């Protein structure tokens, strides 16, 4: 429909910075990646106005569990390093974990990718990462929006948000109401910073310490780029089987706010948590951040996950066997504390 032969003075959408045909080509590249994530309930792919997904018929009293998330300023690491697929995985895994803690398994995922300049390679890398993580979590990548917003994002930069919908039977919902005084807290290791604390981490690493992405992080064997880009892991493979066993009373995904900000969200009124700080070794990356930034330990725990990505609350009689099963699955689980009368989180 475009008329490229018009007289020189006329404005069109391309000269204003938006290239619809380039957007269409990028969509074609994305299509095949997305196709690989379809399952038997997926009724539509990209191109339709909305994505269609049939409600699975194998769940009694089905409840949808939905979450919206972003990657935050971890994206700046992708911009600095030119590695764009892992942030897509970060986003999907983060969303999967956020509904997993309520007992849900993922059905489908949608993304919002906003960019100033359409760079086909970058968009495809981001979507490839999302598609890979969707496949790993058996989640259909049902669609998304790619927005071209010139004058909005700096060249080469973008923002990325994700939305997930999962399902759980009404009786299987985990909402913290089953948690009791004396319950055990089982910790599962994080794979790195996950997607939180990057504003402070970048300030410490790049401004305070003056490091570049190729420099080694003091006290560790890793360079800055790979260390800060480590993928936010999904806990679905380890914990999905436990949901089916009904061995879990509550779960807390340790995101922004750290353990003190997230664990109390699943504890009933009148109950708090005692965390045994010596029950695990805080990974070297967090120790380096604390040292380089001269950050107080309480602030470290409030901003970063400190090596604990997920906390499972379980019956004290079940705890040791739960830990053993998780370890059999290759998961580095340990007992990191207990629930007790009170409020908030005590670090002991």
DSSP 8-state code for residue 283: P
CB atoms within 10 A of CB 227: 22
Q: From CA 274, how far away is CA 263, in angstroms rounded?
A: 11
Tell whether residue 206 is a contact of a second copy (CB under 8 A). no
Task: Identify which of residues 2 and 324 has a Cβ nearer to a second copy in the complex.
Answer: 2
Minimum Å distance from CB 198 to a second copy?
9
CB atoms within 10 A of CB 208: 15
Binding segment for a second copy (CB under 8 A), chosen from 2-10, 184-192, 235-243, 268-276, is 2-10
Phi and psi at residue 329, in whole multiples of 5°? -85, 5
In this structure, are residues 228 and 77 in contact, taking their beta carbons and an 8 Å threshold?
A: yes
Minimum Å distance from CB 251 to a second copy?
9
Tell whether residue 62 is a contact of a second copy (CB under 8 A). yes
Which residue in 34, 53, 306, 307 binds a second copy (CB under 8 A)?
Answer: 53
Which residue in 63, 128, 211, 276 binds a second copy (CB under 8 A)?
Answer: 63
Minimum Å distance from CB 191 to a second copy?
19
Phi and psi at residue 74, in whole multiples of 5°? -60, -25
Which tokens go with 69?
């998330």
Task: Identify which of residues 297 and 324 has a Cβ nearer to a second copy in the complex.
Answer: 297
Per CB under 8 A, which of residues 296..335 are in contact with a second copy?
296, 298-299, 301-303
Tell whether residue 25 is a contact of a second copy (CB under 8 A). no
Which tokens go with 100?
């997993």
In this structure, are residues 187 and 334 in contact, taking their beta carbons and an 8 Å threshold?
A: yes
Tell whether residue 66 is a contact of a second copy (CB under 8 A). yes
Tell whether residue 197 is a contact of a second copy (CB under 8 A). yes
Which residue in 120, 159, 222, 340 binds a second copy (CB under 8 A)?
Answer: 159
Tell whether residue 11 is a contact of a second copy (CB under 8 A). yes
Which tokens go with 202?
């970048």
Query: What is the contact mask toward a second copy in residues 211 to 240, using x (rule: CB under 8 A)?
Result: ------------------------------
Instruction: Classify burial at 80, counting beta carbons within 10 Å of its beta carbon; exposed 0-12, middle 13-18, buried 19 or more.
Output: middle
Minimum Å distance from CB 317 to a second copy?
26
Per CB under 8 A, which of residues 81..110 are in contact with a second copy?
98-99, 101-102, 104, 107-108, 110
Minimum Å distance from CB 178 to a second copy?
15
Q: Which of 129, 124, 109 is nearest to 25 (CA)?
A: 124
Instruction: Classify burial at 157, counting beta carbons within 10 Å of its beta carbon; exposed 0-12, middle 13-18, buried 19 or more.
Output: middle
């Amino acid at each position: 429909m475009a008329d490229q032969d018009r007289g020189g003075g006329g404005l069109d959408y391309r000269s204003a910075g938006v290239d619809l045909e380039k957007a269409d080509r990028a969509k074609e590249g994305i299509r095949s990646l997305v196709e690989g994530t379809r399952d038997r309930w997926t009724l539509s792919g990209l191109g339709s106005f909305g994505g269609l997904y049939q409600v699975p018929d194998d769940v009694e009293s089905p409840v949808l569990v939905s979450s919206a998330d972003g990657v935050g300023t971890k994206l700046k690491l992708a911009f600095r390093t030119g590695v764009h697929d892992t942030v897509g995985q970060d986003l999907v895994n983060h969303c999967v974990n956020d509904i997993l803690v309520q007992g849900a398994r993922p059905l489908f995922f949608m993304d919002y990718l906003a960019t100033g300049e359409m760079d086909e390679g970058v968009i495809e890398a981001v979507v490839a990462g999302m598609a890979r993580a969707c496949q790993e979590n058996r989640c259909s990548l049902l669609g998304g929006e790619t927005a071209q917003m010139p004058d909005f994002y700096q060249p080469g930069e973008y923002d990325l948000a994700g939305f997930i919908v999962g399902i759980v039977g009404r009786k299987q919902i985990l909402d913290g109401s089953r948690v009791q005084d004396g319950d055990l807290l089982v910790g599962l290791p994080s794979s790195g910073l996950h997607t939180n604390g990057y504003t402070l981490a970048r300030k410490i690493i790049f401004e305070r310490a003056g490091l570049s992405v190729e420099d080694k992080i003091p006290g560790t064997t890793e360079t800055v780029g790979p260390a800060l880009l480590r993928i936010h892991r999904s806990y679905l493979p380890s914990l999905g089987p436990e949901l089916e066993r009904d061995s879990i009373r509550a779960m807390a995904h340790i995101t922004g706010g750290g353990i003190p900000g997230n664990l109390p969200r699943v504890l009933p009124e009148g109950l708090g948590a005692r965390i045994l700080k010596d029950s695990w070794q805080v990974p070297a990356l967090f120790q380096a951040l604390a040292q380089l930034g001269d950050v107080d330990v309480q602030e470290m725990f409030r901003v970063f996950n400190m090596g604990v990505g997920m906390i499972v609350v379980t019956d004290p009689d079940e705890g040791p066997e739960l830990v053993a099963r998780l370890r059999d699955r290759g998961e580095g689980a340990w007992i990191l504390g207990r629930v007790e009368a009170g409020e908030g989180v005590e670090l002991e």
